[in-house]
């Protein structure tokens, strides 16, 4: 019921907005639902709104893991 | 540590666990995005004979009553309806929003309700078709806040937001017996792991899952291990996002602007506490959407049975014959997340 | 700035000025300059191919192209994948009153530029101006004529059989993603570049060097729709490997953001080819000179279910069906 995508915070603006990047695509999103967002954070976006920060350590694990999935198949 | 596992190994381990359990498993995914992920990744063929996937009531489009669409169609002659693309093709009793648009109805597809509000002018007459579960509810709460801040007087919300806990309880209590539940990762992001503790009372293995193929596999592994261990605590596979308490700010927004109400779910009927409505103090921003939810068009459509896992999509007499994505008879075929639609597009397979 | 007015389409003086002041100088075709009611030209060939297409893209200027380039490439590509050498095209414009003449000039120049690149001559045209609101800016129809150089080399659906392989000429979905990335509400900062391009040079080189059993350009409906059409017409099954289909990161990103499926996104400069296994190396060698992403993505089976199957990254198999409706951005 809920599509979401992870994105990296590139720039933070007033009015609770941030420029994020996901696989090379840059887009403005709303970050009103998060506190203490910093540049470089990974956040999860749903319908243009960040609904949670992504745990850096867990995200790295996943990144590593998806790398492995690709390796396993190639 | 278990992340180090390779895909093939993971699949082998899940199957091995199921062999140890000694029978094929019924696993329900509550969320439509999970349904699509399962079918897109071909897990229905990969686990054939091992896992029987059932699609639950977690697609907001599928569970929406046609009366809601009818009312939006009616309103679109006077108001501009802002809707997610998901809702556009859902058939009402006479027309879908897409057909209404072709007949001159004012209907706009939006990406984000918050961004949409920013672009609105003061005198525009706009209705937001607010559908979705707790993941989407904060977006509409934020939009409502912006509408108030901007002093927009002609913007209303047609609130048909749903909650997941009550329908899930009803489903588990009255409709279905399953071995495992894949819980909705993004609803859980907002409401938290603790909000799913009630599932433990049903003595069923459950896990909050992310949406990548790998997430689903890890969740299936968790479910099979829990069944073997008779461990019925709610697990959280989607730790990188989902916290115990959820997103407190997002929950605060929901509580500030919405309150629980009873809501209609196709297949489950009227569920007390199953929906969210705009609080009385903000009622000037709400538009009356009341429709007769006891009436449903007389049809052979068995969406209700599909949504409650009683039948597989292809067991419905309409499936593929008269009900297709081009001319859908029921909501499960309309929504790209609907189980009939997913089954139609991805599911057919030799020897079905 | 000057704008198109109703008078530009009334057949009188202003129409004459538009044709002689804008279209003819830019297109610069000798045949067109004669201004006769019909253009007469020579096509010395036993077999002649003709195709027609209308273009209604919005926005009409997009990253990597515009409606003019699109209208030339689209028709050139339809001829090229049929195994023909494109020679002449016609262009017919339906323009909304109030359309900026400067924009029209840009579009017409771009048509000329890509006609030159593709080696085709624009030999006939027409312009109609419609009332404000009757069309969305500008619509272009192009018709193309191509000749067949070697009949035995013509790809045909009858040549498809089990054991052959399927090749795609580059990464998929760029044009569709480009158009979505331009929608202002979405707020994507840097637009995705369309793959819009004429394919006749690469195809010509292929036809001279290897046997192409069948080709199809990927336009509306994307890769999935093209493959399904082939499976239907040839009465075969097609198997595609998910991991092999080239999709750029930005197209993947846009699909995830909007809930779209890259297999169904339009391309305007890509094609699939069915070839015999032994021609694989040579074919890829040629294709890769034009686009490094070109690769083998699957194979043909004689099972006659007329379906396209996708082998997923996880080892599952599923159907890859046709596009059933307009793809809409969604939240769920």
Locate the chain C residue with the closest alpha carbon to A45: C257
C177 and C301 co-located in one domain: yes
Binary contact (B347, C319; C-beta < 8 A): yes
Distance from C-alpha of B241 to C-alpha of C86, rounded to nearest angstrom = 55
Average pLDDT estimate for C269-280: 98
Domains contained in chain C, number: 2
Distance from C-alpha of C293 to C-alpha of C276, rounded to nearest angstrom = 20
| Nearest-10 crossing angle of helices C67-81, C101-118 | 30
C114 and C176 co-located in one domain: no
Residue C325 placed within a domain:
no
Distance from C-alpha of B338 to C-alpha of A53, rounded to nearest angstrom = 29
Least CB–CB distance from A27: residue in C243, C252, C257: C257
Residue C132 placed within a domain:
yes
Tell me the residue ranges of DSSP E strands in chain B. 25-31, 51-58, 80-83, 107-109, 126-132, 155-162, 180-184, 205-209, 234-236, 258-265, 269-278
pLDDT at residue number B338: 82
> C-chain residues within 8 Å CB-CB of A11?
none
- The pLDDT confidence band at residue C168, using thresholds 50, 70 and 90, is very high
Q: CB burial class (10 A; 0-12, 13-18, 19+) of residue C229? A: middle
Distance from C-alpha of B141 to C-alpha of C37, rounded to nearest angstrom = 63
Binary contact (A1, C332; C-beta < 8 A): yes
Residue C67 placed within a domain:
yes
Residue C99 placed within a domain:
yes
Q: Does C267 touch chain B (CB under 8 A)?
A: no
Residue C1 placed within a domain:
no
| Type and span of the H or E element at C162 | none
CB pairs under 8 A between B and C: 96
C161 and C67 co-located in one domain: no
> C-chain residues within 8 Å CB-CB of B43?
314, 316
C198 and C243 co-located in one domain: yes
Residue B30 or C91, more confident: C91
Query: Taking the CA atoms of chain C, what radius of gyration do you get in angstroms?
Result: 21
pLDDT at residue number B327: 80
B206 near B53, Cβ under 8 Å?
no
C160 near C109, Cβ under 8 Å?
no
Q: Which of A6, A23, A70 to mutate to test the interface with C (most CBs of C within 10 A)?
A: A23
pLDDT at residue number B298: 56
pLDDT at residue number C41: 86
Task: Work out the minimum CA distance from A49 to partner chain B, whole angstroms.
Answer: 7
pLDDT at residue number B3: 45
pTM reported for the whole predicted model: 0.91
Give SS3 for B154. Answer: coil
Distances (CA, A) of C227 to A5, C212, C235, C264, C327: 29, 16, 12, 11, 18
C224 and C95 co-located in one domain: no
Alpha carbon dihedral B312, B313, B317, B321, in 10-degree steps, equals: -150
Tokens matching residue C259: 């809930």
- φ and ψ of C248, to 5 deg: -70, 155
pLDDT at residue number B151: 93
C306 and C274 co-located in one domain: yes
Tokens matching residue C42: 């020579």
Residue B30 or C249, more confident: C249
Binary contact (B86, C315; C-beta < 8 A): no
C199 and C284 co-located in one domain: yes
Binary contact (A62, B253; C-beta < 8 A): no
Residue C211 placed within a domain:
yes
Locate the chain A residue with the closest alpha carbon to B246: A52
pLDDT at residue number B36: 87
C55 and C104 co-located in one domain: yes
pLDDT at residue number A71: 42
Instruction: Report chain B's terminal Cα–Cα distance, integer Å.
Output: 38
Please enumerate residues of C whose Cβ is less than 8 A from a Cβ of A.
Answer: 181, 186-190, 192, 243, 249-250, 252-254, 256-257, 259, 313, 330-332
C13 and C147 co-located in one domain: yes
- Output DSSP code: residue C159: G
- Per-residue pLDDT tens, chain B, 352 aa: give them: 344 467 888 999 999 999 999 999 999 998 889 988 998 999 988 999 999 998 887 788 888 888 999 999 999 999 999 999 988 988 888 899 999 999 999 999 999 999 999 989 888 899 999 999 999 999 999 999 999 999 999 999 999 999 999 999 998 988 788 999 999 999 999 999 999 999 999 999 999 999 999 899 999 999 999 999 999 999 999 999 999 999 999 999 999 999 999 998 887 889 999 999 999 999 999 998 888 766 655 578 888 788 777 888 888 999 988 888 888 887 788 777 788 888 888 875 543 4
Least CB–CB distance from B8: residue in A32, A59, A72: A72
Distance from C-alpha of B247 to C-alpha of C83, rounded to nearest angstrom = 59
Please report where in the chains the tokens 């929406």 appear, as a residue. Answer: B64
**The pLDDT of residue C229 is above 80:** yes
| Strand pairing class (C237-241; C138-147) | unpaired
Domain of C172, CATH number, reads: 3.90.650.10
Distance from C-alpha of B332 to C-alpha of B343, rounded to nearest angstrom = 10
Binary contact (A46, C187; C-beta < 8 A): no
C85 and C136 co-located in one domain: yes
pLDDT at residue number B1: 34
Tell me the residue ranges of DSSP E strands in C67-219. 85-96, 121-130, 138-147, 165-168, 212-217
C29 and C102 co-located in one domain: yes
Give SS3 for B82. Answer: strand
Locate the chain C residue with the closest alpha carbon to A2: C332
Domain boundary among C99, C127, C153: C153
Q: What is the DSSP string of C163-184?
A: T-EEEESS-S-HHHHHHHHT-G
Domains of chain A: 5-72 (2.30.30.140)
Tokens matching residue C66: 């515009």
pLDDT at residue number C214: 97
Tokens matching residue B346: 């991805």
Alpha carbon dihedral A69, A72, B3, B8, in 10-degree steps, equals: 110
**The pLDDT of residue C153 is above 90:** no
Binary contact (C257, A5; C-beta < 8 A): yes
For residue C206, which of C148, C273, C283 has the smallest C-alpha distance? C283
Residue C86 placed within a domain:
yes
Residue C111 placed within a domain:
yes
> B-chain residues within 8 Å CB-CB of A54?
240-241
Binary contact (C257, A25; C-beta < 8 A): yes
- φ and ψ of C10, to 5 deg: -90, 0
Give SS3 for B146. Answer: helix
| Helices vs strands, H then E, count in chain B | 15, 11
B128 near B113, Cβ under 8 Å?
yes
Q: Does A49 touch chain B (CB under 8 A)?
A: yes
Lowest mean pLDDT among A49-53, C46-50, C132-136: C46-50
Distances (CA, A) of A27 to A18, A20, B265: 8, 5, 35
Tell me the residue ranges of DSSP E strands in B44-162. 51-58, 80-83, 107-109, 126-132, 155-162
C70 near C138, Cβ under 8 Å?
no
Distances (CA, A) of B86 to A48, B163, B205, B331: 15, 18, 31, 11
CB pairs under 8 A between A and B: 113
Domain boundary among C123, C138, C153: C153
pLDDT at residue number B352: 40
pLDDT at residue number C185: 81
Average pLDDT estimate for A11-19: 95
Distance from C-alpha of B140 to C-alpha of C9, rounded to nearest angstrom = 48
- φ and ψ of C316, to 5 deg: -85, 170
Binary contact (B42, C328; C-beta < 8 A): no
**The pLDDT of residue A72 is above 50:** no
In this predicted model, what pLDDT tens digit does every residue of C191-211 receive, in sequence order? Answer: 999 999 999 999 999 999 999
Task: Work out the minimum CA distance from C182 to partner chain A, whole angstroms.
Answer: 12
Domain boundary among C124, C153, C182: C153
Binary contact (B139, A64; C-beta < 8 A): no
| Type and span of the H or E element at A44 | strand A42-46
C198 and C86 co-located in one domain: no
Distance from C-alpha of C309 to C-alpha of C298, rounded to nearest angstrom = 10
B163 near B192, Cβ under 8 Å?
no
Give SS3 for B40. Answer: helix
Residue C319 or B330, more confident: C319
pLDDT at residue number B12: 94
A3 near C332, Cβ under 8 Å?
yes
pLDDT at residue number A74: 35
For residue A21, which of C332, C253, C185 has the smallest C-alpha distance? C253
Least CB–CB distance from A3: residue in B33, B241, B243: B33
Domain of C145, CATH number, reads: 3.30.1330.10
B340 near B315, Cβ under 8 Å?
no
B268 near B308, Cβ under 8 Å?
yes
Give residue C51's domain range.
6-153
Give SS3 for C309. Answer: strand
Least CB–CB distance from B89: residue in C305, C313, C325: C325
Distance from C-alpha of A58 to C-alpha of A66, rounded to nearest angstrom = 12
pLDDT at residue number B330: 79
pLDDT at residue number B329: 80
């Amino acid at each position: 019921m809920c599509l979401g995508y992870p994105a990296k915070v590139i720039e933070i603006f007033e009015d609770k907005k941030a420029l994020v990047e996901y696989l090379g695509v840059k887009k403005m999103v709303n970050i009103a639902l998060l506190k203490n967002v910093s540049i470089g954070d990974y956040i999860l976006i749903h319908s243009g709104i960040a609904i949670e920060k992504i745990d850096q350590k867990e995200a790295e694990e996943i990144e590593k893991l998806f790398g492995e999935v690709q390796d396993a198949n190639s | 540590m278990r992340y180090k596992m390779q895909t093939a190994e993971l699949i082998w381990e899940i199957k091995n666990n199921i062999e140890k359990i000694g029978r094929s498993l019924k696993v329900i995914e509550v969320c439509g995005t999970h349904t699509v992920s399962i079918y897109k990744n071909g897990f229905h063929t990969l686990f054939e004979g091992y896992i029987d996937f059932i699609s639950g009531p977690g697609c907001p489009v599928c569970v929406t009553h046609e009366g809601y669409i009818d009312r939006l169609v009616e309103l679109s002659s006077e108001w501009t309806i802002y809707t997610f693309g998901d809702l556009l093709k859902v058939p009402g009793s006479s027309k879908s929003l897409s057909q209404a648009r072709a007949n001159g109805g004012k209907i706009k597809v939006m990406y984000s309700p918050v961004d949409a509000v920013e672009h609105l002018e003061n005198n525009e007459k706009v209705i937001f078709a607010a559908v979705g579960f707790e993941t989407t509810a904060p977006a509409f709460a934020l939009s409502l806040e912006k509408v108030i801040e901007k002093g927009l007087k002609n913007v209303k919300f047609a609130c048909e937001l749903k909650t997941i806990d009550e329908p899930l309880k009803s489903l588990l209590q009255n409709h279905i017996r399953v071995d495992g539940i894949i819980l909705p990762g993004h609803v859980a992001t907002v409401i938290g792991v603790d909000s799913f503790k009630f599932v433990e009372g049903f003595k069923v293995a459950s896990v909050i899952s992310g949406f990548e193929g790998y997430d689903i596999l890890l969740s299936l592994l968790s479910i099979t291990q829990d069944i073997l261990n008779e461990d019925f605590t709610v697990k959280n596979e989607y730790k990188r996002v989902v916290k115990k308490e959820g997103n407190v700010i997002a929950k605060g927004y929901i509580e500030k602007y919405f309150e629980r109400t009873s809501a209609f779910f196709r297949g489950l009927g009227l569920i007390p506490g199953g929906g969210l409505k705009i609080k009385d103090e903000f009622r000037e921003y709400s538009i009356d959407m009341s429709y007769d939810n006891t009436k449903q068009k007389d049809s052979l459509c068995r969406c209700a049975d599909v949504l409650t896992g009683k039948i597989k999509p292809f067991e419905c007499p309409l499936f593929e014959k008269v009900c297709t994505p081009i001319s859908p008879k029921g909501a499960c075929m309309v929504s790209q997340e609907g189980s009939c639609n997913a089954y139609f597009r991805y599911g057919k397979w030799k020897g079905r | 700035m000057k704008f198109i007015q109703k008078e530009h389409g009334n057949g009188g003086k202003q129409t004459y000025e538009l044709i002689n002041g804008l279209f003819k100088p830019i297109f610069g075709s000798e045949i067109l300059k004669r201004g006769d009611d019909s253009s007469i030209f020579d096509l010395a060939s036993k077999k002649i191919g003709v195709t027609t297409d209308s273009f209604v893209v919005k926005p009409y200027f997009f990253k990597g192209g515009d409606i003019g380039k699109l209208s030339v490439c689209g028709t050139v590509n339809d001829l090229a994948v049929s195994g023909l050498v494109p020679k002449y095209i016609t262009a017919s414009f339906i323009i909304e009153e109030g359309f900026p003449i400067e924009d029209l000039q840009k579009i017409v120049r771009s048509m000329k530029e890509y006609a030159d690149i593709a080696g085709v001559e624009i030999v006939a045209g027409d312009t109609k101006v419609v009332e404000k609101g009757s069309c969305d800016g500008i619509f272009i129809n192009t018709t193309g004529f191509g000749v067949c150089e070697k009949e035995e080399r013509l790809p045909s659906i009858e040549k498809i059989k089990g054991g052959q392989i399927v090749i795609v000429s580059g990464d998929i979905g760029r044009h569709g993603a480009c158009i979505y990335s331009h929608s202002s509400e979405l707020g994507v900062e840097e637009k995705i570049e369309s793959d819009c391009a004429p394919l006749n040079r690469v195809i010509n080189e292929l036809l001279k060097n290897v046997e192409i059993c069948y080709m199809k350009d990927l336009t509306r409906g994307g890769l999935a729709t093209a493959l399904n059409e082939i499976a239907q017409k040839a009465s075969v099954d097609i198997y595609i490997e998910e991991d092999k289909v080239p999709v750029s990161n930005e197209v993947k990103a846009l699909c995830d953001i909007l809930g779209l499926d890259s297999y169904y996104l339009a391309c305007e400069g890509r094609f699939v080819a069915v070839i015999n296994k032994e021609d694989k190396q040579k074919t890829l060698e040629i294709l890769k000179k034009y686009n490094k992403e070109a690769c083998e993505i699957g194979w043909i089976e004689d099972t006659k279910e007329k379906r396209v199957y996708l082998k997923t990254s996880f080892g599952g198999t599923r159907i890859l069906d046709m596009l059933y409706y307009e793809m809409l951005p969604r939240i769920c």
